[in-house]
Chains A and B, each alone.
Chain A
Amino acid sequence: MRETRRMSSKSLYILAVIVFPVITILFFCSLMKEGVPAKMPIAIVDLDQTATSRKMARNIDVTPASHVVMHLTSEKEAMSALRSGDIYGFAVLPENMQADLMTNRQPVVRYYYHNGLFIAGGLLRNDFASITNTLSAGINLQRGESRGMSEQAIMSQIQPVQLNTHLLFNPTANYPTYVTTIILPIMMQIFILMITVYCIGIEIKEKTSREWLKASGKSVTVALIGKLLPYTVIFLILMMFQNFMIYKILMVPMHAGIGWITLASLLFVLAYQAIGIFCIGLLPLMRHSLNLAAFYGILALSLCGFSFPTESMSPVFQLWAYGFPVRHFMHIFQSQILAGFEPVYSAGAFISLFVFLLLPLVVINRLKSALIYQNFIENIHKTDILAGQA
């Protein structure tokens, strides 16, 4: 087809269709390869300087999330280090901590953590809390045992109700599973949208649309299919490469067959191509339709419910969220692939993806007239055409 030749001829296409998508896939796969951030820098302000306080500092250092990089002498210093970004949190072990412990005077240990960082703050807080609890329990056990109580009796006194947390359907509590699996389709939709709008829009802009239409027997449908098919193939290959990275390299659990994954990926690509056609059909002036597609594509991250659950947003945004194929794709991924639920639970999402495919029908006549009459061409003023001769 005409399009394939055109594609391979311009570096713009190669960059936007192959190079950049592959780079972003690699970027997101490698960024969070650790799974859970480990050994984040923290500081200890040890005002006690006794065996107990030093033991506690060591205990904090060996927790998975924290790594003591500084021993400071005052809270003020530590706060400044936190503000400068050298550390993400610190613990203050009070004066007389050991003595207070001996005499039952409940020393107060203070923790500070930088909660402006999304993951780091929460992890450090958990670490700090668990280390203190362990220490408290240890002290209690020692005391209770000296009084001749059984361990079980002590534990039920300290903690009458215990909470056991189980992770449902995603035993690997790590970040690539949350983040990479969703952010990659979100990236991909931007590429698909942009290139779809561009490859149709450029025909109108460069006034080659009549020639294009003629080549496809004056049928817009044939013309569009012919034009977009090469991209469908390329993006499907990219999606499969992405799936390969997610399930085989990052080892995200995969509980559905490859057939389902391929089907979902294909529908995803087609749905976004359909939206691309809708954009250019609605606003055949390319720069405006590109703006529209960009506006829509960028919002996908916020509105698909991945960063912040849609259910907690206001009703307007909940409705709006249905307009993003990536949301339905995410649903299929979470329910069918990650959790391994029966396909019936994701049927709604598949149907929604199909509905997007009907979008081009709404604008096809408008697009056809735009292709024929070319009445949406911006006037380019050649401002300096004769400047040299003047």
Chain B
Amino acid sequence: MKEQLKNTIRRINSGFLNTLKIWLREYQVIFTDVGVLIVMIAAPLVYPVLYSLIYKPEIITDMPIAIVDLSRSADSRQFSRQLDATQELRVAYMATSMTDAIKQFKLRNVRGIIEIPSSFSKDIAQGNQTNISAYADMEFFLYYKTLLLGTSFVTLETGKQIQFRNLVQQGETLQEADAAVNPIHIEDTSIANAVGGFATYAIPVALMLIIQQTLILAIGIMAGTARERHARGTLVPLDKNKMGTFRLVIGKSAAYFTVYALLCVYLLGIIPQMFGYYRLADFKELAALMTPFLLSCIFFGMTLSVLFKNRESPMLLFLFTSFPLFFLSGIIWPLSNFSNIWLIVREIFPSSNAVFGYIKMNTLGASITETSHEITALWIQTGVYFLTACLVYYVQVKLSERKNKEIKTFPINSIKQKLAGRLSGNTIATTSGVK
């Protein structure tokens, strides 16, 4: 009994030491490989800064427009000046006719056209409703939005001035007049991103995607490199020491996890501070979300890594997913309008839930309970991918052991010939088994 206990302790002890050894060795692998360093350290450091600088203007200001002033009156000139004075618009061209304005539009000198009717001044004087036409550039959604924002502001303001003038003439008090014009007051409040800045939409998604994509790519590159370096193209080295599956998976994950935990401090702490993004989530909330996210990414990456035969293939086969994942996150196209297929595909990738959870916590101020759906999903992914990673590594460890035995028992030359024939067959068998 005592002997047995001692034995167990010794086994735990050796397992622990072994894991530690794998953990430390993984650091060595990471920090001695320039390619891995670029993906794992340089990319997460550089991309957020670059994206933030690109999207720094947040909103469009002084968008050039053309004005077709058919009224040519003091009122219409006043209206044009007001348009020019808005933050959104800049009158770049006074056109003589609509054709003239459209020509400027085709040359891309202006991004929208405002037409003031010839009856503008007369209508106002006579108390008739007058019509302003806005022609919006539909090529870019943001141009359309900007034109509407600027023009409707000026239109409403001008309208109000006219109303006041009329009502004062009628001898009503301002309050009465306002109640007559607006029976209901509207107070619209945007939750998160009040100015509708573009960086505020895009950067949270970018941050989560950078974490996931660089992690998976880096793990894939390291696995591909391992296969290239190991004589028989195996993922796990044909080492003298027997390597346990759990020790391998846990040791390697610990190395990746610590590196990325540090990166998270930079990505989620320093970057938002530097560029003034929303920071409603505390450390506690972020930790609750990021822990399962990082773990699920790591195990997902390790599971996928068996598919990569050399260090270049992850770039070829995985990089492109970045853009579809951006859309799968549900930030651009609302989730309520996803078809079922894509909702299922969405659940495969940890980033989808992480992006949503991060935005909820960070820009809406959601608590851990309110984000429980995302956090649970990430833990489920962590569990599933941990099992698949173990399975994959188990197969790989066995494969290495078998090859090891072959090398030991057979003379070297016959093995070479034999393996050359077998290698292709074997590798295909393992990958298809994993899929």
A residues with CB within 8 A of B? 12, 15-16, 20, 24, 27-28, 30-34, 37-41, 79-80, 82-85, 88, 101, 104-122, 125, 128-129, 132, 135-136, 139-140, 143, 152-153, 155-171, 173, 175, 177-179, 183, 186-187, 190-191, 194-195, 198, 201-202, 286-288, 290-291, 294-295, 297-299, 301-303, 305-309, 312-314, 317, 334-335, 338-339, 341-342, 345, 380-385, 387-390
Min CB distance A165 to B, Å, is 5
The answer to whether the Cβ of B3 comes within 8 Å of any Cβ in the partner chain is: no
| Cβ 8 A contact of B151, one of A24, A163, A335, A388 | A163
In whole Å, how far is A104's beta carbon from the nearest beta carbon of chain B? 5
Contact call A40/B132, Cβ cutoff below 8 A: no
Q: Are A308 and B194 in contact (CB-based, < 8 A)?
A: no
Q: Smallest CB–CB gap between B200 and chain A, Å?
A: 8
Q: Mark B222-266, 1 if CB is under 8 A from A, else 0.
A: 000000111100000111100000000000000000000000000
Minimal beta-carbon separation of A102 from chain B (angstroms) = 10
- A12 vs B310: C-alpha distance when bound (angstroms): 11
Asked if A198 contacts B140 (CB within 8 A), the reply is: no
Instruction: Give the Cβ gap from B338 to chain A, nearest Cβ, in Å.
Output: 7
A388 touches B238 (CB 8 A): yes
- Given A88-B334, A110-B189, A115-B191, decide whether A388 and B408 contact each other with a Cβ distance below 8 A: yes
A187 touches B152 (CB 8 A): no
Closest Cβ–Cβ distance, residue B246 to chain A (whole Å): 21
Stretch at the interface among B16-24, B156-164, B290-298, B381-389: B156-164
Does A160 contact B130, Cβ atoms closer than 8 Å?
Answer: yes
Q: A20-B320, A30-B339, A166-B133 are in contact. Are A111 and B187 (CB under 8 A)?
A: yes
Is B380 interfacial (CB-CB < 8 Å)? no
Inter-subunit contact A334/B139 (CB<8 Å):
yes
What are 22 of the A-B contact pairs (CB < 8 Å)?
A: A31-B342, A37-B333, A88-B334, A106-B183, A111-B186, A112-B189, A112-B190, A116-B364, A117-B330, A129-B188, A157-B127, A160-B129, A160-B159, A160-B163, A164-B133, A167-B144, A194-B319, A308-B142, A309-B142, A382-B229, A388-B404, A388-B408
Please measure, in the bound complex, the distance between the C-alpha atom of A387 and the C-alpha atom of B315, giving whole angstroms.
30
Q: For the complex formed, measure the closest distance between the CB of B102 and the CB atoms of chain A, giving whole angstroms.
A: 8
CA distance A199 to B187 in the complex (A): 59
Contact A121 B190 (CB under 8 A): yes
Residues of chain B within 8 A of A169, CB atoms compared: 137-139
Known contacts A156-B128, A312-B60; A114 and B315 CB within 8 A of each other? no
Contact of A307 among B184, B187, B202, B230 (CB under 8 A): B202
Known contacts A166-B135, A308-B54; is A84 also within 8 Å of B323 by CB? Answer: no
Q: Is the pair B332, A314 in contact by a Cβ cutoff of 8 Å?
A: no
Contact A335 B320 (CB under 8 A): no
In contact, A170 and B138 (Cβ under 8 angstroms): yes
Question: Of A132, A166, A287, A335, which one neighbours B35 at CB under 8 angstroms?
Answer: A287
* Residue B399 at the chain A interface, CB threshold 8 Å: no
Contact B140 A111, beta carbon cutoff 8 Å:
no
| A107 in contact with B327 given A163-B152, A384-B230 (CB within 8 Å) | no
**Cβ-based interface call for B96 (8 A):** no
Docked-complex contact B366 and A38, CB < 8 angstroms:
no
In the assembled complex, the Cα of A201 lies from the Cα of B136 at a distance in Å of 47
Q: Chain A contacts of B193 at CB under 8 A?
A: 115-116, 121
Among A12, A85, A162, A301, point to the contact of B356 (Cβ < 8 A).
Answer: A85
Per-residue CB contact flags for chain B residues 196-230 toward chain A (1 = under 8 Å, else 0) read: 10101110100000000000000001000000111
Q: Tell me the smallest distance from the CB of A64 to a CB of chain B, in Å.
A: 12
Q: Decide: B239 and A190 in contact? CB cutoff 8 A.
A: no
Question: 9 smallest A-B Cβ distances: which pairs?
Answer: A388-B407, A170-B138, A83-B366, A156-B129, A115-B190, A116-B192, A160-B162, A385-B231, A115-B193
A115-B190, A286-B312, A314-B56 known; A298 and B319 CB under 8 Å? yes
A236 to B200, alpha carbons, bound, how many Å?
37
List, in ascending order, chain A residues with CB within 8 A of B334's CB: 37, 40, 88, 117, 119-120
**A387 and B240 within 8 A (CB):** yes
Q: How far is the CB of B355 from chain A (nearest CB, A)?
A: 10
Which A residues lie within 8 Å of B371 (CB)? 84
Task: State which of B4-12, B174-182, B268-276 sits at the interface with chain A.
Answer: B174-182
Closest partner residue, chain A, to B61 (CB atom): A312
A290 touches B312 (CB 8 A): yes
Q: Are A85 and B333 in contact (CB-based, < 8 A)?
A: no
Which residue among B130, B315, B366 has the maximum number of chain A CB atoms within 10 Å of its CB?
A: B315
Q: Does residue B317 face the partner (Cβ distance < 8 Å to A)?
A: yes
A185 to B244, CA, bound (A): 46
A32 to B324, CA, bound (A): 12
Tell me, yes or no, whether B134 is within 8 Å of chain A by CB.
Answer: yes
B337 partner, pick from A37, A136, A140, A153, beta carbons under 8 A:
A37
Of A136, A312, A317, A380, the residue contacting B53 (CB under 8 A) is A317
- Whether B1 sits at the interface, judged by CB under 8 Å, is no
B166 within 8 A of A: yes
* B333 x A338 contact (CB < 8 A): no
Is residue B94 within 8 Å, beta carbon to beta carbon, of the partner chain?
no
Q: Is B142 touching A160 in the complex (CB atoms < 8 A)?
A: no
B22 vs chain A, min Cβ distance (A): 15
Residues of A within 8 A of B376 (CB): none
B282 at the interface (CB under 8 A from A): no
Taking a contact as CB atoms closer than 8 A, the residue among A114, A166, A345 that contacts B191 in the complex is: A114
Bound together, the chains give a CA A167 to CA B113 distance in angstroms of 10
The reply to whether B113 and A168 form a contact with Cβ atoms under 8 Å apart is yes
Determine if A291 and B319 form an interchain contact, defined as CB atoms under 8 angstroms apart. no
In the assembled complex, B31 has its CB within 8 A of some CB on chain A: no
Which of B128, B320, B404 gathers the greatest number of chain A CB atoms within 10 Å? B320
- Knowing A139-B183, A309-B140 are in contact, say whether A152-B188 is a contact too (CB < 8 A): no
Determine whether B336 belongs to the interface, using a CB cutoff of 8 Å to chain A.
Answer: yes
For B342-374 the 0/1 string (1 means CB < 8 A from A) is 100000000000001001100111110011010
Closest B residue to A333 using CB positions: B139
Q: Do B53 and A314 touch (CB < 8 A)?
A: yes
By beta carbon, the residue of chain A nearest B132 is: A163
Write out the residue numbers on chain A whose beta carbons fall within 8 Å of the beta carbon of B35. 287-288, 291
B360→A287 contact, CB < 8 A: no
Q: Which residues of B have CB within 8 Å of A109?
A: 184-187
A57 to chain B, nearest CB (A): 14
Tell me if B51 is interfacial: C-beta within 8 Å of chain A.
yes
Most buried by A among B196, B201, B331, B404: B201
Other CB < 8 Å A-B pairs besides A157-B181, A159-B129, 11 of them?
A: A85-B373, A106-B184, A115-B192, A136-B183, A156-B128, A165-B136, A166-B134, A299-B50, A308-B198, A338-B139, A389-B407
